[in-house]
Every structure is written in structure tokens, then in C-alpha cells.
Structure 1
């Protein structure tokens, strides 16, 4: 037996692109009125429920039946609204779709909507879009009049049903635990994860990022002279990345994980928190839970990695086949997938190269003596011998390292926020990749993040030895490999002298990245993994359910 009818006021989707079809949505609104009248004529007592919350962007002037979003109600509209029996309009005053950087207001609007939902306790929340419930506007019958008892909830604190205007479940709610996305100071893991968060958000998913308030990378960034300025720039370059900083002792995991569909836990998360998240999954959590490892500790400090309790996790995302196989062979997890890092091409892309002011630039940290000899052979000695103009960016350079750079004639320019690296690449003719020793000798197939980013920026790359055992690139076409210092000098000399040669390598490397190694490719792979774990395709691909009539 039908107990209620919902009237869905969705104009022909083409009006989203051609406003001349229905400038003010009057045709569509009239269609809703006629449909409502037809329902009432057939069944005078059948309730007709209209409750909608509009999301940010693509929002138009609704007729009065949907109130409005974008512009406040006019005086005449308010008079009409007050005259309609059983209708209460709760109007907010954000104009989100016209703002260049609306994200603070988006958060405030979402909090307002949740407060309204808690106060009014609706039976059904209908979202006018695929966004999460905490979005901009809510219009509903607050007094419950006309809603049959079978639809009216007995307890105001219960969670309402959530429907979207596409007739599918809301998009995936993702929780990411990591060391830091605010700071990339000596923290290359932030590069890829920022791109993943951005890509997931662009596909309509809700992504919440949590990082500890005392993260060492963030604290070190604040000590940099331009640290605060860099933080502000991060917010501009990554508008979808809004980490929440938590105090570990005060973290309410039950509240954080409530309603999550997918939880990603990066390997720099403290082991105790890794275990606690797993316990929540064991004790009834309905989310999929994946551990993400992008470091060499599996081979350099295996006892430490064995201390992570992953028994309640669905599996491990490892940034290379060799690390994936290690997790399985050691019995640290039951399931593991290879999930390489990749370039965030929204940020890393070619800049105009008409201001090449130096021969070579290298972006990297000195570190823990993991490549001191390699830096001497593949960077310092070639620059000194060829008398190249060169600049180095990075941190953790001890006094002997700074002296070595000076003696080689290399300019040391200190820390460089990662979003500024593309500009640095555009001002040099060539760059080099010098992998840390564990990747060169014990973890073949893992290039780490820098080669992806360099090639995405269209700069020729010469690499010290590493084995591309997974065929990510084509050596000799996408980049050059120097087996020793002599070959490094020969390759650098040839590239710097030959503009056409530089262009050919830059084009080939960029083409490979764009075809195989972007964050979009990796998110697509992640969604495939989630689907193999039983997650619904409708949840994983919410925007694909859009339909545009011919």
C-alpha cells in the first residue's frame, strides 16, 4: 500500500548548460504543481512530502515549492510561503556557488544543517545532489503534519534516512589517518595523499583527513621563515584538503568512524592508533579498512613493522610489488595490493620554459646517510666537473654536506614547499633522481614520488641506478639511466647541449605519466579494490549516475 508520494523537482538536465530552456525553472515547477494536484485528486489524504537540501555548485532559482537557494526569498515569496499550510521554510544565507574559496562557509553551512536536523528530527533527508548530509539548505515540514505514523520516528535522536536526487545511496565517506597533509617538510608521503584526497573529492566523495596536532613535519615547517606563508599557499593549491588536527589522548574514535565507508590508515600512524582502529572494525565497524605503506621500513626495520597489528584490516596498499609480496610472505596481512604513488597533475604540470636560468635543479633531502656516497658520485662530482649552474632544495643538510655543495659550486636554497617545485623545474634544463640506497638495492620497482612529479612537469630526468622491475617507465625514452658517475656526466652534458633532445625526453616522460601515473589512475585502482571487497558501485562512482537526456 502506498503511504506517501515524494515529488522530485528535477528539470531537464540540459537546463544546467542551456538556461534558455527554462530560465527560472517555471516550466519544471509547474510540472511539479500539476503532479501534486493529480495525486491529490486521486487520493485526497495521501501525504505529499517535499524536503530537500541543496549542495554547493550548479544551483538555480527554484520556484516557491522548493523555496530558493542562492538568493534569499523575496517579500512576496515569504508571504506565499507563510500562506501554504504545513510548510515551514528554514532559510540559510550562504551564497556558496559564487565564492572563489567557499570552503569555510561550506563547513559552517554543513554544521548549520546538522544542527537543524538534530533539532527537527526529520524522518527523511533528501539531498539535492550526491554530497554528504552536512551541506547547505534544508526545507521541510517541521511540524510533522500530514506525515503518517509509519513514517514518523518515535525518538528525535535517531538518524534519518538519507536519499539523493539520483535514487542511489550517498557517496562514499572516506576517513584518512596520516602523519600530515598540511606539511610536506621532509615528508614526501603528503604529496601523493593530497592528490588522492583531491581526486576523491572531485568525484563526489566525502573525505575527512585526521593528523596529529604534534606531527613533527608540521612543527618543523613552523620553524621555517616562510612556514606560515607556505601553509596559506597549501590551502589555496589544495582547496579540498582540510585536515583536522587531533590530540591523540582526546581522539574519539567512535565518533570519527561513525558512518564511514572506507578508512585508510597510513603507515606513519602510531601503532597504538592502528590497533585501536582495527578493534573498532572488529567490534562492529561496517567500513572497509586498509593500511597504506609507502616506506622502506619493511626491509630496513622489519621487526618494527611486524609490531603493527593489522589482523582486523581488509588488507594493505603497498607502493610496489616487492613490498606487497613482503607483507604476504611475512604473514603481516592476509591481503595486499600494489598501489604505486603517482603525480598530482593538478599541481604538477609543465610551466613555460622560457626562463631556464640554470642547468640543473635537484629537490631532495640529505637524510640519514642513506645516499651520501651516491650524492657525491651522481650530483656533486658531475656538476663540479662539467661546471654546471645548479641549485639544490631540501632539508636536513649537516654542515659537511653544505660545505660539499659549496665546494662543488652548487647553490643551496633550503626547503621548498612541494607546490612550488613545478616552478623550480621550469627554471632548469634538467633534473636528476638519486634514490636512497634501500630503494636502489632492496626494493626494486619503487621509484618513490619524485620521478613521477618531475616527469609530470616536463623536465628531462637522468636517474642514478634503480631497477624498474614493474615496467612503470621506458628507460632511454622517458628518462635516462646513469650506471655510474661517468655516464651521469655524459648524459647531463648531452642534454644540456641539445634542446631538441631535452624536448623529446620531456614529451615522452610527460606522455607516460598522463597515460598511466596520475592520482586519477590510482584512485580508479583504489575504487576497484574497494569493489572487490564488496562495496557498491553506486557508492564508489556517485557521479556516474548522472543522466543527461538527449
Structure 2
């Protein structure tokens, strides 16, 4: 496949990172696609909570258009969907089922569902209460792009009838995420929106260590934490940290914490953007354990794993600075080699090529069967 692609994303948000991790992923991917010469249009539902918290209203590397509903989407952007080489519907899009049906009806190029919440989606589909996707829509997409890899990909194909499930993970931008020379301000920090199923791990691996090490400094950045969370006095709270401030936040930590939602721990192979961004900054990552984490970073060499407060404290207390720096540097090299937005954009273009070839083979097979039927 040669030449540039005309790509249309219909995602949760690219203009606001408030309370969601989707914007960071879409920004990095759209920027990398544009740098490679592809044209990107991002269609975002105009909702008040993002309108009030837009930290990138007009990205310079893609066209962003807001719409008010599915009818307006059809009227204003139907021609763009018909002309697109690739039309991608993301998870958690408002009225996502209707949006997916519209894309499958209008698009003449490759269509894809991009699941940034795969284990959550699969659980919701099993319960029959997924608001943004219906199981019967999955076979209608040429590609099912998943934030979760490993065995989950075959499960999506087997249980949902996806034509091709492929992992398209989050990434880091090495131009934005890089080491900084100033000394760390915090011993351990964390950035992430509140989630009830992540909170127990945050308690074990950051808040309880903070209670036991009153002379150390900690930080938690992110919105929507309940008022009844008991924050130790040595934990600094930052209500919202825009993506442009992430690199400085990571650089100001001796270690940064990664904790994972319960559904994603069970599924495994579900790296968060924190892993790649912090590693690209050379900040050592202390993470909870889940299947497949060693596919991204080598435990003990490129990432540090802990399941308990005792294990977390052992890392904070005993690891020499020289080894800490070495772990961070090895992780940074791994990100630059495998986990940048450029790698993800290249993978996506490859998946489109694969889908086109698969569709061409299918059309040729159908023509052959028709011809055989006519001769018979």
C-alpha cells in the first residue's frame, strides 16, 4: 500500500484529557499519522464536561470537528466517512452503537473499532449492558483494534466474530517525554483518574507507604477522588494534570507508580500510558503485577513490581540510586525501540494494508464461486 491515508476517528475526546485517558492516546496517534503524511479528521461529540475542560481545543496536526448528535454526524460528515480510507470508532463514544451503525453503513474504506477499554467492554457485552457497542456490530468492522493483547485477541475473534483482532497499545512521544536534569521532588508519585477498582492498589502501594514513611514525599494527580479518601499529610494532591505537564511530573519523582484496573489485571497484556510515558522520561516505574507485563518491560531490569506495602517500601528504601537510574535508562531504551507513537502509527497502517488484502481475497473468492455457479 502506497500513498497517504485519509483517516477519520470518531472518539471519546481529543480536545480534553479531563477524567479520561483516551485523549492522550488519540493525540499521540494522530500526531504520528500526520508526521507520516496521512490526513486525520477527528470527530468528537460536544459534551459540557469536556467543553469546560479543553486543554487542546485545536491540535495543529489534525482537523477536529465537534458534533451534537448522530443525525448531525450524518448530515455534516457523511461524505467524509464515505471518502475515508480508514474510519475508526472508539470505545465510550456517546451513542456509540448508533455511530458504529452509521459508519458501517456509509464507509467504503476500511472500518475499525478501537477499544481503549477492552476488558471493560468484554465484561459489559457479556452482561448485555455495553452502552457504546453491541456484539452483533463487531463482525461488521474490518478490524477490532484493542488496548489489550495476548489471549484476549483470539477471544474477541472467537466469541464476537471479529474479522481480525489486533493489539494497538498506547505509547509515548519521545519529543515530549524525556529525562529532565533537576533532582526529584517526590519519592513516589501517581497520575490517574479515580477508579474504585484501582483504589485498593493505590492504598497498598502509595498511601500506606506514605503513612509509614512520614519523612518521605508522595504525590497523587488526577480528578474525581471521593471526599472520604484519607490522604496522609505527606501526599501532595493535584486535582488535574494536563498531558503537557506529565513529563515534568514524572521527572520530579524518584519512582512513579502504575496501578491497573481489576478487569485489566485479570485480562493481562493491558499496559497503561503511564508505563510508556514515565519510562520514556527515564523515571523508574513501580507497578502492580499482571499477566503479560514482561512482554513490555523486563521485571527487575526495566520495571519494578510490587504486590504489597512491604514490597513497595523495600524498593523505596533499599534500591541504590545508581541501580534506580540504570533501570530507568533501560526502560527508556525499550520504549524508544518499541513503544513510541510512531511505532503505533506504523502498526495501524500495516493493519489497514492487511485488511485491504484480506477483503480483496474475499471478493476474488466470491467472484470465483459465482463464476463456478454460472458454469454449473
**TM class by shorter-chain length?**
0.7 to 0.9
In the alignment, does 2:330 pair up with 1:508? yes
Task: State the 1:529 CA deviation.
Answer: 1.3
Q: Where does 1:333-344 land on structure 2 (aligned, <5 Å)?
A: 333-344=162-173
Say if 2:97 and 2:134, in contact at 8 Å, map to a contact too.
no
Which has more radius of gyration? 1
Say if 1:343 and 1:513, in contact at 8 Å, map to a contact too.
yes
How many Å separate the matches in 2 of 1:505 and 1:517?
Answer: 17
- 1:420 paired residue number: 245
In the alignment, does 2:61 pair up with 1:240? yes
Task: Choose between structure 1 and 2: higher helix proportion.
Answer: 2
Say if 1:298 and 1:326, in contact at 8 Å, map to a contact too.
no
SS in 1 for 2:20: coil
How many Å separate the matches in 1 of 2:78 and 2:239?
Answer: 42
Task: State the 1:332 CA deviation.
Answer: 4.1
Say if 2:39 and 2:62, in contact at 8 Å, map to a contact too.
no
- 2:102 paired residue number: 276
- 1:316 paired residue number: 144
TM-score norm. by structure 1 comes to: 0.60
Q: Where does 1:64-103 land on structure 2 (aligned, <5 Å)?
A: none
Q: Per-residue displacement from partner, 1:396-430 (whole Å, max 9, x unpaired)?
A: 111111xx11x353111211101211011112211
Q: Per-residue displacement from partner, 1:144-167 (whole Å, max 9, x unpaired)?
A: xxxxxxxxxxxxxxxxxxxxxxxx
In the alignment, does 2:343 pair up with 1:521? yes
Q: More displaced, 483-492 or 356-365?
A: 356-365
Q: Per-residue displacement from partner, 1:89-139 (whole Å, max 9, x unpaired)?
A: xxxxxxxxxxxxxxxxxxxxxxxxxxxxxxxxxxxxxxxxxxxxxxxxxxx
- 1:531 paired residue number: 353
- 1:298 paired residue number: 121
How many Å separate the matches in 1 of 2:136 and 2:20?
Answer: 21
- 2:42 paired residue number: 209
Task: State the 1:488 CA deviation.
Answer: 0.8
Say if 1:267 and 1:292, in contact at 8 Å, map to a contact too.
yes
CA pair 524-274 structure 1, distance change in 2 beyond 3 A: same
- 2:27 paired residue number: 194
SS in 1 for 2:356: coil
- 2:185 paired residue number: 357
Greater relative contact order (CA < 8 Å, ≥ 6 in sequence): 2
How many Å separate the matches in 2 of 1:341 and 1:332?
Answer: 24
Number of aligned positions between the proteins? 345
- 1:11 paired residue number: none
Q: Where does 1:7-18 land on structure 2 (aligned, <5 Å)?
A: none
Match of 2:199 among 372, 381, 399: 372
Task: State the 1:322 CA deviation.
Answer: 3.4
- 2:86 paired residue number: 262
SS in 1 for 2:194: coil
CA pair 470-316 structure 1, distance change in 2 beyond 3 A: farther
How many Å separate the matches in 1 of 2:26 and 2:152?
Answer: 19
Consecutive unaligned residues of structure 1, counting only runs of 5 or more, are 1-167, 536-550
SS in 2 for 1:398: coil
Say if 2:179 and 2:282, in contact at 8 Å, map to a contact too.
yes
SS in 1 for 2:138: coil
SS in 2 for 1:475: coil
How many Å separate the matches in 2 of 1:181 and 1:308?
Answer: 27
Task: State the 1:308 CA deviation.
Answer: 5.9
Q: Per-residue displacement from partner, 1:181-209 (whole Å, max 9, x unpaired)?
A: 00111111211211111111011111111
- 2:220 paired residue number: 392
Runs of 4 or more off by more than 4 Å in structure 1? none
How many Å separate the matches in 2 of 1:329 and 1:170?
Answer: 34
- 1:173 paired residue number: 6
TM-score norm. by structure 2 comes to: 0.86
Q: Per-residue displacement from partner, 1:56-110 (whole Å, max 9, x unpaired)?
A: xxxxxxxxxxxxxxxxxxxxxxxxxxxxxxxxxxxxxxxxxxxxxxxxxxxxxxx
In the alignment, does 2:299 pair up with 1:475? yes
Task: State the 1:519 CA deviation.
Answer: 1.0
Consecutive unaligned residues of structure 2, counting only runs of 5 or more, are 358-376
